[in-house]
Amino acid sequence: MTDANVQAEHHAGLKHQFENLEQQQDADTLGIWVFLVTEIMFFGGLFAAYAIYRWLYFAAFEGGSHILDVRLGALNTVVLLGSSLTMALSVRAAQTGNRRALVLFLVLTMILGAVFLGVKAYEYDQKFVEHVVPGLDWAPEGDVLAKLAPGGLGHAQLYFIFYFAMTGLHAIHMIIGMGLLLYLVLRGRKGTFTPHYFAPVEVVGLYWHFVDIVWIFLFPLLYLIGGRY
Amino acid sequence: MSQQIVPVKTYIFVFASLIALTLLTTGVAFIDLGPFNTVAALAIAFCKMLLVVFFFMHLRQSSSLVKVVLLAGFFWLALLIVLTSTDYRSRSWTPAPDSWSTTAPPTHP
């Protein structure tokens, strides 16, 4: 047995039920993937319902989609993809044992996540300004009304219910992700993560990328219905 | 660990591709392709997902077990969407018999 092995087996992060850190990381990775599959089904229910209603009331969904600001949606997509890049780079920094880079990239990921949520909050606020919030403030008028009227106002409400439910659920995932990142920053600063032990960074990274993928689908499905020509 | 370390260049290249595809999907939405606008949007989103899954999420280097788990997840998602859509689309093909009607029942003097 080499010295490296002995060191790894006595690592503080190694739980009793595992032979070694490598086996533990394989189990952790499989575990988070199984969780992500349940998340696919969780969002999948919303996507399936969205698909049915979009097919039934296409004109209403198209009208609702045209109320949204494509530029803000595209900007947020770029911001979130950027945060995925910094997340991937922080996992890499953990793999190479670069503590400074790890903390830097984790903080950058958090900042980009906060920018995304800030833009999202501004968009939600705009919905109140335009009075297109079903249940709380539904009184579209002027241009907004003209865009929504062809599909029927009742079904336009349905579109906005999907808009708020899907982006809201996504935003909740982002907020949870931000909390997990903060936890990683606090532990990472103390040098907990090494090239032998970085499973928590990898696991949170997988979760963060999943949330990014959900947005990759939400952007075209909510903002780009029926084209913008 | 068993995982190889991916060069920074690869991550940057994947990120650049993702941004390019985002611009493409936004641009295509401003061109009238009829029903193919939706097809193009979903195809591009699917490509972006593959880039993130294979590179950022390291599926390329993951064990076969992880790949099978993910594939099973997508299979289940496909069942959910396809079977639900099939139900909604085919409901009108076989109308319910008149006798099941819930509107005013025939009156007998």
ipTM for the predicted complex: 0.90
Q: Is the pTM of this model over 0.95?
A: no
Residue B106 lies in a domain: no
Asked if B47 and B8 sit in the same domain, the reply is yes
Question: So what CATH class is A18-223?
Answer: mainly alpha
Asked if B17 and B67 sit in the same domain, the reply is no
Mutate to test the interface with A, among B5, B19, B26 (most CBs of A within 10 A): B26
Asked if B69 and B52 sit in the same domain, the reply is no
Report the domain count for chain B. Answer: 2
Nearest to B70 among A37, A202, A226 (CB): A37
| pLDDT of B12 strictly over 90 | yes
Residue B19 lies in a domain: yes
pLDDT computed for residue A1 by the predictor: 44
Q: Which two tokens stand for residue A33?
A: 């993937």
pLDDT computed for residue A10 by the predictor: 66
On chain A, the residues whose CB falls within 8 A of the CB of B56 are: 84-85, 87-88, 205, 209, 212
**Interchain proximity A195–B53, CB inside 8 Å:** no
Asked if B67 and B52 sit in the same domain, the reply is no
Residue B29 lies in a domain: yes
List the alpha helices (DSSP H) in A57-98.
58-65, 70-96
Please say whether the beta carbons of B46 and B78 come within 8 A.
no
Asked if B3 and B51 sit in the same domain, the reply is yes
pLDDT computed for residue B1 by the predictor: 43
Residue B101 lies in a domain: no
- CA torsion sign for A47, A50, A52, A55 is negative
3-class SS of residue A97: coil
pLDDT computed for residue A214 by the predictor: 98
**Domain boundaries along the sequence of chain A:** 18-223
Residue B108 lies in a domain: no
Asked if B82 and B37 sit in the same domain, the reply is no
Which range of residues forms the domain containing residue B42?
1-57
pLDDT computed for residue A125 by the predictor: 97
Asked if B33 and B18 sit in the same domain, the reply is yes
The Cα of A47 is separated from the nearest Cα of chain B by a number of Å equal to 8
